[in-house]
Amino acid sequence: MRTFAIALVALASVSLGLHLALAGVDKPDAVIKLKGGSVAAGVGISWGSGTLVYRGKRYPISIEGLNVGDVGVTKVTASGKVYGLKKLEDLDGNYAAVDAGASLGGGGETAAMKNQNGVTVNLVSTTQGVKLALAAGGVSIKVVR
C-alpha cells in the first residue's frame, strides 16, 4: 500500500511539472479585446473599439473583414491571444485563416488567423452563440497611430 501511495505522489508530481512546463509554451505575446455594435446576418464588422495590450501598454486597433454569422445580434464582444509579435508594427497586416470556426464548450466560437509577418491571433467570441468567420479577402488589423 505504501509503495502505491509513493508511486501515486510521484505520478502527480510528474504530471504537475509537465503541466507547468506546457503552460509556459502557451503564453501569448499580447492580448486583444474587441467590441462591435449591431449587425445583420453575414455583415462584416469594423471593430472600432479594439484594444491591444502589448508589453504592459494599451494600443487602439482597427479590424475589418471579420464576419458574424447571426441575425439580430446587438452587441458582439471577442478577445484573443496574439503569438509571434516581436514588435508592434508586426501586428499590422492582412490575416488569413489558420483554423476558423471551432466551437467551445460554453457557446463561444474561435477564429485563428495569421499575417504575413508571422503573427498569429486566436480570437474567441465572448458573446454567446455568435460565430466568428473571416471574410473571403481575409481580415485587416492595424494599430491606430
Of 124, 129, 122, the C-alpha closest to 107 is 129
Torsion over CA: 129, 44, 47, 25 (sign): positive
Residue 102's contacts (CB-CB under 8 Å, 6 or more residues apart) are 109, 110, 112
Measure the CA–CA gap between 57 and 48, rounded to whole angstroms. 18
The residue ranges of every structural domain in the chain are: 28-143
Measure the CA–CA gap between 60 and 107, rounded to whole angstroms. 27
Percentage of the chain beyond pLDDT 90 is: 35
Cell of 102: 471551432
pTM of the entire predicted model: 0.72
The 3-state DSSP class for residue 13 equals helix
In tens, the pLDDT along 51-104 reads 999 999 999 998 888 776 655 666 778 899 999 999 999 999 999 998 644 444
Q: Which residue has the higher pLDDT, 58 or 20?
A: 58
